[in-house]
Every structure is written in structure tokens, then in C-alpha cells.
Structure 1
Amino acid sequence: MSAHLVVNVLLGLALVVFLAYRQATWQYLDPARIWRTPLVMGVVGVVVLANSGVTVTTTDVVFLAIEALVTIAVGLTTGSITRFRTVSTPDGKGRTLQSRTGWAGAALWIVLIVVRIGLDVVGGHLGAHLLTATGTILLVLALNRAARAVVVDQRIPRGARRASMMVR
């Protein structure tokens, strides 16, 4: 096993632990900013892919479509299981709305990662090499976060949305 692979595995595990923690704990939510992350990741993903000079094959397109469907489904589900609460003490930015998906959200992240790795392995054996490109990974994550944002944006309690407009 190469040092590069070990580092990637350790970074991947650290990311899973971090994401599971974030899903399971209450986090302040700014309704006006839930679209920022998917937008930034999507733009960076497109730029990285455009600059990579990778050749796209039919196999790549098929596997990317499968991955897109899975990641969107997970994002929509994550958005639908998101819970909200309003706290009496605002954070440093004046936010009082918090959200979390709990351990079910953490499990969905793990499912997404396992499916992604599985598709990478199978796709790699069949000649789909675009799945492992950094730009593709960013686009997949952007799709997931955008699908979540679509649902969360519609589910934010009315009073919380108005209060968030007054956040500095």
C-alpha cells in the first residue's frame, strides 16, 4: 500500500467523521446562504474539469448520470429529514435558527460515499475514468448540496426566514 493511498484513506475517514458530526449536531443556519456552498463547489468543479483536458467517453457519461441520480436522491432525502429549532440566544452573527439531520443524515453521507466508491471501482474497470477527477467530485457534492438546499429552503419555518433577513 502506497503512502499516497494511506493519506487519501485517512483524509477520507476524517471527512466522514467530520460530516457525521456536522449532521448529528445542531448547526446555525442562515437561510440566505444555503445556496453559497453548492454554487461555489459547482463553479470550481466546472473550472477544474474544463482545465483538466479530460476526454469524456460514453461510459463516463453513463456512470456520471447514475452518480448524479444517487447524489440528488440523497440530497433530497437529507433535506426532507432536516429538523429545525430556534434558540433564544443568537450566535455572533445574530442567527437563532439551527438545523440538523441527526444520525440518519450521517448514515446518508456514508451511503453516498460507499456508492461513490463502488461506482468509481466498477467504472474504472469499465473505462470510466472521469469519476475520479477532482472537478467531478466537486460537481457531485455541489449537486447533493443543491438538492438539499431546494428542500431545506422550502421547509424553513416562516418566522425564521424573516428573522434571518435582518441578520448582519
Structure 2
Amino acid sequence: MTPSTILPILIGLALLIFISVRQMSWTKVNAASMLKLPMIMALVGLVLAAQTFDHPGALHVHGADLVLIAAEAGVAVVGGLLMGRMTQIDTINGVTQSRLRPAGLAVWFGFIAIRIGGEVLAHADHLALASSTPLILFMVAIVKATQALTVRERVARHEQSRQVAYDSYSRI
């Protein structure tokens, strides 16, 4: 392992721990805030892609790259949907809050394991695009954006049902 490979691994582990701890903590639901992290990760991925593939011929896209990327994107969407469904939503002190349940965290770690497996497969087949660091950021952004959109939809239903219950109670 070289110093150039240690830094991305450490950054990846720090990001994984940060996201995991943040997901398991009760936080106020804010749609704009939930989508901020995926947007930042996608933007960083674009910047890294521009730096990584900055000269002609730096990127050789094979059909296997596209197949692996499509499969990982599908897994990312399914993982995000599952994590969104496994997010606990409640009203605490009049504020709608959410946190990921342990089963959702298991889905998150499962996604990470599948992503690592895809990375290993891509390296073994010399697939430059499928094994690139920007792709990792894009896939995590897809998972988190899908989760955020799913949670946002569930929160809207939660607040609507809470309002209906409040209206019914206030009529008594």
C-alpha cells in the first residue's frame, strides 16, 4: 500500500463513519439539508473526474464498465429506497425528526460491501471508469439522495396524518 492509496482509504473510512453516526442520531427533518450531502458528493465527484481523466485517452470505457456501473446504480437506488423505508420518523417536542434504524444501517453497510466488491471486480478487469474514485462518490450520492427523497415523502405523509389527528382531536 502506497501513501497515494492510504489517503483515499482514510477519507472513505472517515466519510463512512460520519454518515453512519449521523444517520443513527435523531435529527430534525429538513428536505434541503438531507439533499445537501448527496449534492456535495456529486460535485466533488465531478471535480475529481475532471482531474482524474484530464487528458485525451485517459479514459477507456468498456462495455463491462457500463454494465458494472448500471448494476451498482441499481443497487444504490434499491439501497436508498430500503434505507428510506427503514428510517424511523417521529415528532419529538413538536418537531419532526428521523433516524435510521439498525436494519437500515445494515443495508448501508451491505451497499458499501457490494460497492467494494464491484471495485475489486473492476480492478481485476482493468475497468478504469468503474474502479474510479469519482464513481464511488456518485454511487454514495445516489444512495443518499434516494434515501432523502424517500424520507421526505414519508415525512410529508407523517405530518399530514399528524395534522388530521390534531384536527380530529381539536373538534372534541
> Normalized against structure 2, the TM-score is what?
0.75
Give the Cα–Cα distance (whole angstroms) in 2 for the partners of residues 49 and 8 of structure 1: 14
Offset at 1:125? 1.0
1:69 aligns with 2:87: no
8 Å contact 1:49–1:135 — kept in the other structure? Answer: yes
The alignment-based identity, stated in percent, is 32
For 1:48, the equivalent position in structure 2 comes to 48
For 2:65, the equivalent position in structure 1 comes to 60
1:84 aligns with 2:89: yes
Give the Cα–Cα distance (whole angstroms) in 1 for the partners of residues 7 and 38 of structure 2: 26
1:23 aligns with 2:23: yes
Question: SS state of the match for residue 127, structure 2?
Answer: coil
8 Å contact 2:26–2:97 — kept in the other structure? Answer: yes
Inter-CA distance 11–33: structure 2 relative to 1 (3 Å threshold): closer
Per-residue CA deviation, residues 54-75 of structure 1 (Å, 9 max, x unaligned), is 2322111111111101111100
8 Å contact 2:81–2:146 — kept in the other structure? Answer: yes
Instruction: Specify every segment of 5 or more residues in structure 1 that has no aligned partner in the other structure, as ranges.
Output: 90-95, 163-168
Give the Cα–Cα distance (whole angstroms) in 1 for the partners of residues 13 and 47 of structure 2: 27
Q: Tell me which of the two structures has the higher relative contact order, counting C-alpha pairs closer than 8 angstroms and 6 or more residues apart.
A: 1
Question: SS state of the match for residue 60, structure 1?
Answer: helix
Question: SS state of the match for residue 93, structure 2?
Answer: coil
2:120 partner letter: V
Question: SS state of the match for residue 60, structure 2?
Answer: coil
8 Å contact 1:20–1:103 — kept in the other structure? Answer: no
> What count of residue pairs does the alignment treat as equivalent?
156
Give the Cα–Cα distance (whole angstroms) in 2 for the partners of residues 20 and 38 of structure 1: 14
Give the Cα–Cα distance (whole angstroms) in 2 for the partners of residues 47 and 15 of structure 1: 18
